[in-house]
Structure 1
Amino acid sequence: MPFVHLHVHSRFSPQWGLHDPERLCAAVRELGMDSLALTDRNGLYGIPHFIACARTAGLKPVIGCELVHATGRALVWARGRSGYARLCQLVSARHEQADFDLARALADRNGLIVASDVPALLERLAVLDRRDLYVEVSPGHRPEAALQLARRLRLPPLASCRAVLLEPEDHLLHRVLRAIAANTTLDRLSAEACARPDDSLWPPARLAARLPHCPEALANSRQIAETCAVDWEFELQLPAPPGLAPEQAPAELKRRARAGALRRYGRIDVRIEARLQRELELIGQRGFAGYFLVVEEIARQSSRICGRGSAAASLVAYCLGITHVDPLRHNLFFERFLNEGRIDPPDIDIDFPWDERDAILDFVFARHGRDRTAMVANQIGFMGRGALREVAKVFGIPAAEIRTVTRRISGYWRGAQLLDAVREHPLFRGEKLAHEWPTIFAIAARMRHQLRHLGLHCGGVVITPGPIRSTVPVQVSAKGPAVIQWEKDQAESAGLVKIDLLGNRSLAVIRDACRAVEKNTGRHIDDADWQPLEDRATRALLCRGATMGCFYIESPATRLLLRRMFGPGREDDIHPDDLFEHLVMASSIIRPAANAYINEFIARMRGKPWRCLHPDLEPVLNETYGIAVYQEQITRMAMAMAGFDAFEG
């Protein structure tokens, strides 16, 4: 087939595109085509997701972008990996440089193919270099003028459909998004600010019929698609400790881990040595030594941190001071954190006192360089009442009427439920609403996944071994720090390693309380020797569920569960280690899906006879009274019963 759609927008074009790449790929496949480009506006916001969708649909993905700026508009496609790096740099410059000029930026087109129909832009670019430069010819967008421009500048024409829509009813949703972006109403929105009703995925035969005098414009699209066809496999981008060669990282990690083991345990016995060797060997084989060193250095910037999640199962993390729960003492399952089959790096989350986190982020940016560091994005869309409010505004509904409707709508109602709720819910009985509301509800229901803007992830930081703007586009967040254009799932699927640096108020309270104790009593509390559960009064508070203000075990349901598990006066009957492990069980089982098992769990804990479902499960489930409480127990059950290894489990 001689034609490929090279100008296509998805929902990742902020307030312009509509459909998910998955649906676009399916639509192109139905047309019998084998390639597709995604060219979202001023960003590569959905590229990892698009590549995955294209592969699933059996399409060859072409990576591109439509750069739109006051100085012009151009389509840019990446011709190979060097072109992709240059495209990321261009998009970053578009967002970060106040004096950005599109023609000046496209003067260096190494690895790129460019098309436009803006005469002034093409004239400037053609003077510099005519190679890989095309004139875009699109039905409904003055194609005759574009062909005349191509002949005048002696540049090849390129056919496109500027696809945004899939169905006729999509155009109203598109106009609503454009009106929201322009902060205007539909009746004041200009046609020039929107896509045309026919900007959709045309069948090739229809496009050929519209451009019968220019078959080369269609053929050029196929040529560009074949030139840009790359097996897009993203490589793992592990952060590296500054000033340390990669081959030196394993030895340095071993040195620090052994020093930490001596600090934690006083000596390294056979059990500690064997576990350290096993973990260090696996970390070295996977090339993660530098990553651990980077995280360890960040953790050292605060005297009070809490590394949590599956990282708590690692003895290396414990010896480095990243976590503070002894995995040997509590028999934690290391393979949940890292195993021989795992290719992606382990996930390490670190809590810092909330009022220290910004300083920690400043350290990370300064230490690793702003050219290699950025925050992970949250891709913000339109939700519930917010979507309804925005749509109603562009329909010209009075503010008072909008408030009447939205203030009665639960934040838990999804868009699809809104119309039924207003029709049937007692809160709206007797209300006479404008006739546009059914349409408003229907449009709001479709807006949940439309990209509106980027926010900052609560703590995710990405550090790359090379320039980050050659790996992913970066833009300036409203708060100030640089932020990549991908949210956490796409970032991880593209090989970026997210380090979560989170703010925790409880840690700040503990820090301040310890300072107050020292100030008022002269007693210094040493973290290395501090064992809170050795204190009888502390155990008494925990046993009677007096845990308000204690992070993770302060919810009403957890406090009630603790009272039922222990009750007053039990503080002398339970060993500190057993109390700690039962606190972990309580915080894990207090989930809605586990409600049916909580009574049985308490009964068995209080002495009710029980037996494991199978003898092979006893080593896995005995500590939790025969009931699976932890995620890692599911893995270990599969290993015990089916012979799986840790990765398969």
Structure 2
Amino acid sequence: MLDGAARVDDLVAAVAADGQTAVAITDHGVLYGAVDFYKAARAADVKPIIGIEAYVTPGSRFERPPRREDLRYHMNLLAMNQTGYRNLMTLASKAYLDGFYYKPRMDRELLAEYSEGLVATSGCLGGHVPQLLAPDASGEEGNQGQERDYDAALEAAGMYQDIFGKDSFFIEIQDHGIAAQKRVLGDLVSIAKSIEAPLLATNDTHYTYASEADAHDALLCIQTGATKSEEKRFRFQSNEFYVKSAAEMRALFPDEDFPGACDNTLEIADRADLTLDFDRILLPHFPVPTGETEAAYLASLVLAGARERYGDPIPTEARDRIEYELGVIGDMGFSSYFLIVWDLIRYAKDRGIRTGPGRGSAAGSIVAYCLGITALDPLHYGLIFERFLNPGRREMPDIDMDFDERYRGEMIRYCADRYGSDHVAQIVTFSTIKGRQAVRDAARVLGFPYGLGDKVAKLMPPAILGREASLSQCLVAPSTDTDQELRDHFTAASGLRTAYETDPDVKLVVDTARGLEGLRRQDSIHAAAVVISAEPLTDVVPLQRKGEDAEIVTQYEMHAVEALGLLKMDFLGLRNLSTIERALELIEANTGERIDIDNIPLDDPAVYSMLQAGESMGVFQFEGGPMRSLMRNLKPERFDHLVALNALYRPGPLGAGMHTEYADRKNGRSEISYLHDDLEPILGDSYGIMVFQEQVMQVAQTMAGFSMIEADGLRKAMGKKIPSVMAAQEEMFVAGCVEQGYDERIGKELFGFIEHFAGYGFNRSHSAAYGLVAYQTAWLKAHHPAEYMAALLTSSKRDKDRTAIYLHECRRMGIEVTVPDVNASDSDFVATEGTIVFGLSAVRNVGEGVVEMIVVERDKNGPFADFKDFVDRVDLSVLNKRTIESLVKAGGFDSLGHARRGLLLVFEQMLDAAVGRRRAEAMGQYSLFGGDDDAVVEQPVIITTDEWDKKTLLGFEKLMLGLYVSDHPLLGVEKVLESMTTATIPGLIELDDKASATVGGIVGSITRRYTKAGDPMFFFPLEDLEGSVEVVAFPRTVAEYGPLIREDAILLVSGRIDHNGDGVVKMIGQELREPVLDAAEVVRLRVPATRLSRAVVDRLRAALRNHPGAAAVYLHMVGDAGEKVIKLGDDHRVEPRTALYAELRELLGPSAVL
């Protein structure tokens, strides 16, 4: 990757256009592109030859040579038949699994063992034989620094000939116009003659067309981080690494000088006889009880589950649906698949691992529901089986499984134990260079300023339904009979086309970017996909190791794996399931009650009251700002509304205004109407709006007489909107309506109605399944807020911005969140008596081992009495001075009664004394005469009660925890600040690129950089109570406002939004000012009436009188009868400053100031 720039389709098209009959693929060290290449070649009627450019080490693959010159050589291996292909996969796998050292390496032992069915060549200039003839020529790691050694080259060639056989080892010759290649040609011909090996003329192809040499050079610059103008950089030594025609090759290698070199390519092509089978299904056999078939065993499990779900006897509707689904599943040969999934879900539940209620269209299967794979009754929710498994399509079912993210690895290990570790692997995935990134990359390697690439990238149209337009789609007008999405992309890209046609720099950048777009950038492990095979995987796919844990991963991506008939399953680690399970554990620890969250009522008034108020921050699927606004507008009252919300809150429906229309119809603000009365049973629960794809299918079935298979075809066609396909579907639909007794006019109107809505429809099964998870999280937040928010904070602890948002939500809810505490904290957040305590592992420099040691000691021997007791009891070999200093600054010892500043002054002295006491005990000083009377009397250390000021205290807290916890510089002034802004910082992501906004917050650490002219630029995070954003201040802004930009300063920043296309938002600061934070006209306090004791009221009066001013004070008293608002007298008017708010929060609680 970042080297090969030949696109497979272009490659085979070029070969076919030249009349060539075969082409080989030889990726470096891997078989990544083999299946895509094979399919493309077959489609172009060109014979595909699958091969690899192997890395061969001269020693053992198990050795790790210290000298680079001993690392590896190149060698081409080509599969001639099925045996050769299997051997090639085995070699590619073992090179990675056994021989990886910088690169996946084979050795002679492996080559000898797996040589059958392979043709080998001596390779390019990086090959073993050429390197002995021309050291240092290839730029690769070969025999660099050595002299030409013809005899050794002859010996090496003979050794490879002995391994592969006289007819299967070829001396490869190349001529890309490189001097070193010409220099070794004579020696290679001589060696071939000496050992009677055939010659083979090849052209190393790194791009398809000669015109792509420049784009390939740009790709190399991306790989190395260079620019094209740099002289001393890695580059190819010629521009001839393209697909040369047969005529060009024969001109380079005439038969009289290189006998048989070109003809031998045809001989290899004739010998190659490999067919990949894409029609078989390699499902593993599930181990069923003796005497049972898979189909019969599945049926027995389903019927047993149905009795649990529906009662005994099973209702007729359910039994009929079960029989139908089992028949389809059995006929399609998928009984084993369902048993495998059932077994995995059963294992997870038996182990107490939380699983999701289902995902995608699988929730439409009653078989899956009765097996416990899904948790929603498809009959009750109108979910359709054919949306999941269509008997008219020979496709593997696809049931995605959600697990508590903490146990995804355990589920994969169970799968490997169950079916064999050599039958199970994770799957590779590739990231490609998308259009916007290609533009930015091209601008950089061409030496243009960042701003030009950014400007051109932002001229590309926004993604439609998550799919980005390619540069070609932006520049080349699509045909009228094509996907509607392509036409929309082209229309939206007019600005890019104008710039391309009028600005030569833009044209150069875009043309270079088009050569990069779509190429693979890097490989990684797919976040979910796992393959399970009936036979050892290396017989079907090549393997590799990836990631920090050296996981076994396929070399084929998931579509290739599925095409070969292998079972691909998605094991998804869902963070929200982890949050639910943690919350349930905390509730059980606090109450002794284990809540059965899977059987809570779905009509809980408290849940819907909370959601109607838009108080859904932290609720799965429903926490975004616009979603909360939509819920306030919609006011959901039942589970169906939540399912619809999931479907409506997507770009298409939002853009069409369907969400607003749905809310208006639901709440009586708009009339509910139907094109025909027969639509009401189908669309009634969605107020006449076609929200779900399943409704499209039901309308087609009911009114046009479509079978469910035909209806699913209509659903798919509606999604693409290809005119010719739509015309055929409309003709069939209208004819079907007429056959069903409807007027032709109704049929046409109905098709138009479906066409309007169907493109926005969503999978009801998926909406319902995720709606259930959302409801469960909402129920926990409504009924057990402290435990749920503690679990939520734990799940987001690695995302400081998200944690800050949830901390703010806790303050809004009146939940106190305290700093870590050695006497109360666990590793993660815990909830105790309505208060959340930070986890110790959140403290900087405090590892999990330290946390475990503290917690174990505390649980075993009780709370720590003071700091001396702490250092006397813990293992000081684990707990070093830096760790203790971090705990002190984070407030970890506050509960022991020590001031942080006072403790920091003496903790090292106390720690040294504790070490001394332990050393003395170890030497027996305290037990020499049966007591410690003779021991040296240790003077007690006095810990002063002096404390830092609030700013220093919070500064250290932020440094150690990454956030403000016990307080925040903006608390108390947030309402004043909010009145001066146009957006919250998290809300910036919802604004359009280049939109103007004003936000307020506190300045973090400032980074200073300089332009080429030497002018300063500032980069700094601006943080409010809910998140942070990076602000960029260009030189002009720095010149005008530089003195205001200070760490910890509270600023208002006005500027424009900058989206980089990857979901990250920056703000270009244009105007900065310090807000006047004492300008509030009123102060509002909300306090539980039970908290207003005589003592508290007296202290409140005193606090107010200490800050006299002009602002009126309103007291919101909350009691059983509701909220009562009292305006205090004029003698209690105040000046609303930070100091006052700090006192009020300390007295009345962190969320008292509104």
Alignment check: 8 A CA contact 1:548 1:554 kept: yes
Alignment check: 8 A CA contact 2:6 2:205 kept: no
Q: Find the counterpart in structure 1 of residue 871 from structure 2.
A: none
Q: Find the counterpart in structure 2 of residue 324 from structure 1.
A: 375
- Amino acid paired to 1:250: A
In the TM superposition, what is the alpha-carbon distance from 1:281 to its structure 2 partner? 1.9
Task: Report whether the alignment pairs 1:133 with 2:134.
Answer: no
Q: Find the counterpart in structure 1 of residue 393 from structure 2.
A: 342
Q: Find the counterpart in structure 2 of residue 113 from structure 1.
A: 119
Unaligned runs of 5+ in 1: 1-13, 425-434, 572-578
Q: Find the counterpart in structure 2 of residue 97 from structure 1.
A: 98
Q: Find the counterpart in structure 2 of residue 233 from structure 1.
A: 277
Deviations along 1:224-243, whole A, 9 cap, x unmatched?
22332444332323244357
- Please give the secondary structure, in 1, of the residue aligned with 2:231: helix
Deviations along 1:327-360, whole A, 9 cap, x unmatched?
1221210111112112121111121122222322
Q: Find the counterpart in structure 1 of residue 529 from structure 2.
A: 460
In structure 2, do the counterparts of structure 1 residues 105 and 612 end up closer, same or farther at CA, with 3 Å as the change threshold?
farther
Q: Find the counterpart in structure 1 of residue 559 from structure 2.
A: 489
- Please give the secondary structure, in 1, of the residue aligned with 2:381: coil
- Please give the secondary structure, in 2, of the residue aligned with 1:495: coil
Q: Find the counterpart in structure 2 of residue 83 from structure 1.
A: 84
Deviations along 1:411-447, whole A, 9 cap, x unmatched?
89699699x99x99xxxxxxxxxx9999677545533
Whole-angstrom CA distance in 2 between matches of 1:412 and 1:48: 35
- Matching of residues 27-426 of structure 1 within 5 Å: 27-69=14-56, 70-98=71-99, 100-107=105-112, 108-117=114-123, 118-119=128-129, 122-128=157-163, 129-140=165-176, 141-142=181-182, 143-178=185-220, 181=223, 187-189=231-233, 194=236, 196-212=238-254, 213=256, 214=258, 216-234=260-278, 235-241=280-286, 248-267=293-312, 268-300=314-346, 301-302=348-349, 303=352, 304-306=354-356, 307-382=358-433
Moved more, 259-268 or 17-26: 259-268
TM-score, length basis structure 2: 0.49
- Amino acid paired to 1:628: M
- Please give the secondary structure, in 2, of the residue aligned with 1:233: coil
In the TM superposition, what is the alpha-carbon distance from 1:367 to its structure 2 partner? 3.0
In the TM superposition, what is the alpha-carbon distance from 1:113 to its structure 2 partner? 2.1
- Please give the secondary structure, in 2, of the residue aligned with 1:342: coil
Moved more, 330-339 or 382-391: 382-391
- Please give the secondary structure, in 2, of the residue aligned with 1:351: strand
Alignment check: 8 A CA contact 2:89 2:539 kept: yes
Q: Find the counterpart in structure 2 of residue 4 from structure 1.
A: none
- Please give the secondary structure, in 2, of the residue aligned with 1:226: helix
What is the percent sequence identity of the aligned residues?
A: 32
Task: Report whether the alignment pairs 1:525 with 2:595.
Answer: yes
- Amino acid paired to 1:471: V
Alignment check: 8 A CA contact 1:378 1:487 kept: yes
Moved more, 234-243 or 532-541: 234-243
- Amino acid paired to 1:114: A
Whole-angstrom CA distance in 2 between matches of 1:147 and 1:247: 66
- Please give the secondary structure, in 1, of the residue aligned with 2:390: coil
- Amino acid paired to 1:581: D
Whole-angstrom CA distance in 2 between matches of 1:296 and 1:527: 21
* Larger-Rg structure: 2
- Please give the secondary structure, in 2, of the residue aligned with 1:484: strand
Whole-angstrom CA distance in 2 between matches of 1:266 and 1:163: 66
In structure 2, do the counterparts of structure 1 residues 83 and 611 end up closer, same or farther at CA, with 3 Å as the change threshold?
farther
Whole-angstrom CA distance in 1 between matches of 2:697 and 2:270: 44
Whole-angstrom CA distance in 1 between matches of 2:555 and 2:46: 24
Q: Find the counterpart in structure 1 of residue 666 from structure 2.
A: 605
Whole-angstrom CA distance in 2 between matches of 1:367 and 1:412: 52
- Amino acid paired to 1:580: F
In structure 2, do the counterparts of structure 1 residues 207 and 403 end up closer, same or farther at CA, with 3 Å as the change threshold?
closer
Alignment check: 8 A CA contact 1:310 1:337 kept: yes
Deviations along 1:465-521, whole A, 9 cap, x unmatched?
111122122111123211212333333333333211112222122112222222222
Whole-angstrom CA distance in 1 between matches of 2:296 and 2:552: 33
In structure 2, do the counterparts of structure 1 residues 247 and 196 end up closer, same or farther at CA, with 3 Å as the change threshold?
farther
Task: Report whether the alignment pairs 1:581 with 2:631.
Answer: no
Number of aligned positions between the proteins: 608
In the TM superposition, what is the alpha-carbon distance from 1:285 to its structure 2 partner? 1.7
Whole-angstrom CA distance in 1 between matches of 2:397 and 2:470: 37
User: Out of 627, 631, 634, which is 1:565 matched to?
Assistant: 634
Task: Report whether the alignment pairs 1:646 with 2:708.
Answer: yes
In the TM superposition, what is the alpha-carbon distance from 1:310 to its structure 2 partner? 0.5
Deviations along 1:351-405, whole A, 9 cap, x unmatched?
112222232233333333331111122213445787678778877x7xxx97788
Q: Find the counterpart in structure 2 of residue 7 from structure 1.
A: none
In structure 2, do the counterparts of structure 1 residues 564 and 440 end up closer, same or farther at CA, with 3 Å as the change threshold?
closer
Alignment check: 8 A CA contact 2:7 2:208 kept: no
Moved more, 351-360 or 232-241: 232-241
Q: Find the counterpart in structure 2 of residue 10 from structure 1.
A: none
User: Out of 550, 557, 574, which is 1:504 matched to?
Assistant: 574
- Please give the secondary structure, in 1, of the residue aligned with 2:376: coil
User: Out of 545, 552, 575, which is 1:476 matched to?
Assistant: 545
Deviations along 1:133-175, whole A, 9 cap, x unmatched?
2222323434433322221221222222222233444334334
Alignment check: 8 A CA contact 2:360 2:399 kept: yes
Whole-angstrom CA distance in 2 between matches of 1:237 and 1:183: 43
Alignment check: 8 A CA contact 2:210 2:242 kept: no
In the TM superposition, what is the alpha-carbon distance from 1:462 to its structure 2 partner? 1.0
Alignment check: 8 A CA contact 2:161 2:168 kept: no
User: Out of 677, 680, 691, which is 1:629 matched to?
Assistant: 691
Moved more, 383-392 or 125-134: 383-392
Moved more, 613-622 or 201-210: 613-622
In structure 2, do the counterparts of structure 1 residues 239 and 563 end up closer, same or farther at CA, with 3 Å as the change threshold?
farther
In structure 2, do the counterparts of structure 1 residues 385 and 636 end up closer, same or farther at CA, with 3 Å as the change threshold?
closer
- Amino acid paired to 1:258: L
Whole-angstrom CA distance in 2 between matches of 1:246 and 1:63: 43
Task: Report whether the alignment pairs 1:556 with 2:615.
Answer: no
- Please give the secondary structure, in 1, of the residue aligned with 2:48: strand
Whole-angstrom CA distance in 2 between matches of 1:438 and 1:484: 40
Whole-angstrom CA distance in 2 between matches of 1:442 and 1:151: 47
Whole-angstrom CA distance in 2 between matches of 1:623 and 1:244: 45
Moved more, 100-109 or 440-449: 440-449
Higher relative contact order (CA 8 A, sep 6+): 1
Whole-angstrom CA distance in 1 between matches of 2:584 and 2:674: 44
- Please give the secondary structure, in 1, of the residue aligned with 2:242: coil
Whole-angstrom CA distance in 2 between matches of 1:84 and 1:104: 18
Moved more, 133-142 or 369-378: 133-142
- Amino acid paired to 1:633: Q
